[in-house]
Amino acid sequence: MKLNEIIEMDSKYYMKTFGNRTPVCFGHGKGMYLWDTEGKKYTDMLGGLAVNALGHSHPKLVDAITSQACKLIHCSNLYYIETQARLAKVLVENSCADRVFFANSGAEANEAAIKLARIYFKKNGQPEKYEIITLINSFHGRTLTTVAATGQEKYQKPFAPLTPGFRHVPINNIDELEKAIGENTCAIMMEPIQGESGVNPVTKEYAQAVRKLCDEKGLLLIFDEIQCGLGRTGELFAYLHLGVEPDIFTLAKALGGGFPIGAVLAKEPVASAFEKGDHGSTFGGNPLACAAGLAVMDVLLNDGLIENARKMGAYLKHKLEDLKAKFPSITEIRGKGLMIGIQLNNSKAASIASGLLGKGYLVGSVGADIIRLLPPLVIEKHDIDGFVEALENVLQELQE
Ligand SMILES: Cc1ncc(COP(=O)(O)O)c(C=O)c1O
């Protein structure tokens, strides 16, 4: 089909949730690159919003999905599932958690984390503890409860009344957090690096102070690592940068490399609060999703991708700092590893993203002033050199 036919069909039949999308339709991808249906090649600096950590069509992922699909795509969770047990083992053996539950998306993983925190206190004789404190400008998903957890009014207002039991406090402000804790508080939930609001990291000092507060007051610490986890920051999990361990954390996005799967992971005794019948999922952790997850974890852990994220992230940041020195419209380069935000002061993020698209580079823009980069972890130096040169050209063109 021609692009204009696809656009026409989409606008007639698809709900308008994504508005007028970027007028491109991709036909295939390989590694760092995507080709649209008209044959134009793009370098993917957005990685399907932090999903395509292995790049596009990684042979090990393709092989794992196709061979599992030939054997068994789905059976119900009424039966034991080998790939599910194996993926749970890999995640537990490589993290601070003791047990895993698999969902189908990030929002569902966060829903499970919230339910787990509440039921843990109910089963421990403290039913009054149900409230969760999250951060302003956080993003935790689009279900009614995760929208309530999300600290951004624009996602909440149209759907009020929301699930009760959430309070929001400013990031990196321990006094405000301490003031918000009350007799109903059961947990504090945060992204180690906020993604959707434009790459805003919590500081190490703050994370450590939050952990201490949780320990003193008997609260659970929940990390949402859906965007920042799984190697993106140059460590397998972002909490490793912070020197603290969460009681519960969530994963999704990169876990299936593009195949939908989410996970909630928890330490004992919290994890064991979920007993028979307390939670479930029809698709969650099915044989195919977990085969994809196993392939992703294998490549992440054994093919040097995390180290590459660290090294290439530092190289990219260094080159962006050089650009910042040349262009006063760039005011800050934020983030860790391959999760980078470029802060602007000229409200031209959308024009820059569209200029880069014209030159064959995909990036994200957040609001009017932030460019977000989440490239696949297989990125190489020459991709970064090409991208930074294209960005410099776009910035120059926009200055004229
Ligand atoms: C930090 C974080 N949490 C949760 C979600 C929701 O994940 P999903 O869209 O898979 O439901 C996202 C998605 O962008 C996210 O970035």
- The kind and range of the H/E element at 189 are strand 185-190
364 lines ligand 1 (CB under 6 A): no
- Closest ligand 1 atom to residue 260 Cα is 10
Is residue 400 pLDDT above 80, yes or no? no
Is residue 248 pLDDT above 90, yes or no? yes
pLDDT in tens, 56-84: 999 999 999 999 999 999 999 999 999 99
Test site for ligand 1: of 105, 226, 255, most ligand atoms within 8 A of the Cβ = 226
User: What is the phi/psi pair of residue 330, to 5°?
Assistant: -95, 120
Measured CA to CA in angstroms, residue 35 lies from 27, 41, 82, 180, 351 at distances of 6, 4, 36, 49, 22
User: Hey, whose CA ends up nearest to atom 8 of ligand 1?
Assistant: 106
Contacts 24+ apart (CB under 8 A), 344-352: 344/369, 344/370, 344/371, 345/369, 346/398, 348/398, 351/398, 352/391, 352/394, 352/395, 352/398
- Mean pLDDT over residues 296-300, rounded? 98
Is residue 1 pLDDT above 80, yes or no? yes
pLDDT given for residue 76 in this prediction: 96
Task: Find out whether 260 and 104 touch, Cβ atoms under 8 Å.
Answer: yes
pLDDT in tens, 9-56: 999 999 999 999 999 999 999 999 999 999 999 999 999 999 999 999
- Mean pLDDT over residues 185-189, rounded? 98
| Structure-block tokens of residue 392 | 């410099």
- The kind and range of the H/E element at 300 are helix 287-302
211 lines ligand 1 (CB under 6 A): no
pLDDT band at 399 (very low <50, low <70, confident <90, very high): confident
pLDDT in tens, 131-143: 999 999 999 999 9
Task: Find out whether 138 and 201 touch, Cβ atoms under 8 Å.
Answer: no
Residue 71 alpha carbon to ligand 1 centre in Å = 30
Is residue 94 pLDDT above 90, yes or no? yes
Give the C-alpha separation, 66 to 60, whole Å.
Answer: 10
Measured CA to CA in angstroms, residue 131 lies from 20, 103, 225, 378, 400 at distances of 38, 23, 20, 40, 52
140 lines ligand 1 (CB under 6 A): yes
The count of other CB atoms within 10 Å of the CB of residue 393 is 13
- Mean pLDDT over residues 89-97, rounded? 98
pLDDT given for residue 32 in this prediction: 98
- For the whole model, what pTM was predicted? 0.98
- Closest ligand 1 atom to residue 194 Cα is 1
pLDDT given for residue 142 in this prediction: 98
- Mean pLDDT over residues 270-284, rounded? 98
225 lines ligand 1 (CB under 6 A): no
pLDDT in tens, 343-376: 999 999 999 999 999 999 999 999 999 999 999 9
Give the C-alpha separation, 279 to 103, whole Å.
Answer: 10
- Closest ligand 1 atom to residue 107 Cα is 11
- Mean pLDDT over residues 269-276, rounded? 98
pLDDT in tens, 315-351: 999 999 999 999 999 999 999 999 999 999 999 999 9
- The kind and range of the H/E element at 251 are strand 248-251
195 lines ligand 1 (CB under 6 A): yes
* Structural domains of the chain in order of their starting residue, each with its CATH number: 3-57+304-399 (3.90.1150.10), 72-302 (3.40.640.10)
**First-to-final CA distance of the chain:** 38
| Active site amino acids | 139, 224, 253
- Burial class of residue 227, CB neighbours in 10 A (0-12, 13-18, 19+): buried
Give the C-alpha separation, 259 to 171, whole Å.
Answer: 32
pLDDT given for residue 299 in this prediction: 98
Contacts of 171 (CB under 8 A, 6+ apart): 135, 136, 137, 190, 194, 200, 202, 206
- Residue type for position 285: G
Mean of the per-residue pLDDT values of the chain: 98
User: Considering only CA atoms, which of 26, 19, 29 is closest in space to residue 55?
Assistant: 29
- Closest ligand 1 atom to residue 110 Cα is 4
227 lines ligand 1 (CB under 6 A): yes
- Give me the residues paired with residue 249 across strands: 223, 265
